[in-house]
Amino acid sequence: MSLPEPPSASPPGASRVILALETSCDETAAAVVRDGREVLSSVVSSQVDLHARFGGVVPELAGRAHLELIVPVVREALERAGMLDDDGRPVAPSAVAATVGPGLVGSLLVGVSAAKALAMAFSVPFVGVNHLEGHLYAALLEDPALELPAVVLLVSGGHTLLVEMVAVGRYRLLGGTVDDAAGEAFDKVSRFLGLGYPGGPAVEAAARSGDPEAISFTRPMLAEGLAMSFSGLKTAVVHHVRAHPEVATSDVAASFQAAVADVLVAKTLRAAASTGARSLCLAGGVAANSLLRARAKADGEAAGLHVFLPSRAMCTDNAAMIAAAAFVRLERDGPSPLSLGAEAAMAFPVSPAP
């Protein structure tokens, strides 16, 4: 069966209201954003409680929960954006977007299928968005005057990347982790210390009463380059605790967190210096970490950079950032074909050379 051709995008200059869906991991999210900048609504329903007792995201459960949540979450996003008429019927947006990857395939498929169905029902374009590209727009959504080029440190549960945002819609991948993502290291250390899931906030809470200088953990690959590694640091934590069972958990958490922040901030400043970037931004779930935020702000400003820290809600997974990325995609590349599928291992979308 051949699918209908996507409707063409609206004429240039017209205002575009994009409804976006984000279901790549364990948050079911929908948002309505006007012209890639103005957030009319952003609804995030977290499944943290569902997965907490298993110590991590259970893909099968995540997919089922997205299925149950997607319709009420989309409805609420439309309602909060004032897009339900007096009879409760939705008003058509200009386009419907969804995260197509990377992520858990069973979770992605829920958002992608729902977005395609809505696009067909409304007779508007469908736009597939790369989740990582979405995270880059968190800063621009909250600070439209952000000076580019900017170096963005994208630190989430699945990825740790340094990206140069050369201009809106143009990115250059500068470096990243060669093994575990920073968030993954937080999650694994948290599980090992018995602090629970999700690991980042749990380690941060435990670190509050600890001494960051109690244990001098390795700062892997700190000396040069823009590559990072966090798997050795996690192993160092395990070895230290096994060798010193009397050590205070709070000291381990604080010392580990300090090591991660040291590496991330040093690499980000090196990236900024090597590109001549004017601004520095954080993105992704780990960017909610208070120590990382404070260090990035202080050291970035000392290096003469404008530092922008998106709100914590914008750092973690949400659909407003997906709508903002979709706006740029739609302007530049037009609608995505309805045959576009979900792709679990989708790579970061490096722009072609200008």
Could you list the residues that contact Zn ion (CB under 5 A)? 156, 317
Toward ligand KG4, which CB reaches closer, 27 or 164? 27
Closest Cα to residue 301, out of 342, 354, 265? 265
Tokens 């992520």 locate to: 103
Site string for ligand KG4, 197-236 (x = CB under 6 A): -xxxx--x--------------------------------
- Closest contact distance (angstroms) between CB of 285 and ligand KG4 is 2
The reply on whether position 128 binds ligand KG4 by CB under 6 A is: no
Among 28, 229, 268, 289, binds ligand KG4 (CB under 6 A): 289
The reply on whether position 156 binds ligand KG4 by CB under 6 A is: yes
Contact region for ligand KG4 (CB under 6 A) — 117-125, 280-288, 301-309, 331-339? Answer: 280-288
The reply on whether position 134 binds ligand KG4 by CB under 6 A is: no
The reply on whether position 262 binds ligand KG4 by CB under 6 A is: no
**Contact predicate 317/27, CB 8 Å:** yes
The reply on whether position 335 binds ligand KG4 by CB under 6 A is: no
The reply on whether position 22 binds ligand KG4 by CB under 6 A is: no
The strands making up 279-283's β-sheet, listed across from edge to edge, are 170-176, 160-167, 150-155, 279-283, 306-308
Among 140, 263, 286, 320, binds ligand KG4 (CB under 6 A): 286
- Closest contact distance (angstroms) between CB of 186 and ligand KG4 is 4
Bridge partners for 274 per DSSP: none
24, 59, 141, 175 from 30: Cα distances, Å = 12, 20, 16, 30
The reply on whether position 316 binds ligand KG4 by CB under 6 A is: yes
Bridge partners for 228 per DSSP: 177
The reply on whether position 288 binds ligand KG4 by CB under 6 A is: yes
The reply on whether position 157 binds ligand KG4 by CB under 6 A is: yes
Q: Output the CA torsion 171→270→240→51 (10° steps).
A: -20
Alpha helix positions (H), the chain: 48-52, 59-80, 105-122, 131-142, 182-193, 199-207, 231-243, 249-275, 290-302, 312-315, 320-333
Pairing of strands 95-101, 17-22: parallel
Q: Which residues here bind ligand KG4, judged by CB under 6 A? A: 25, 156-158, 183, 186-187, 198-201, 204, 284-286, 288-289, 316-317
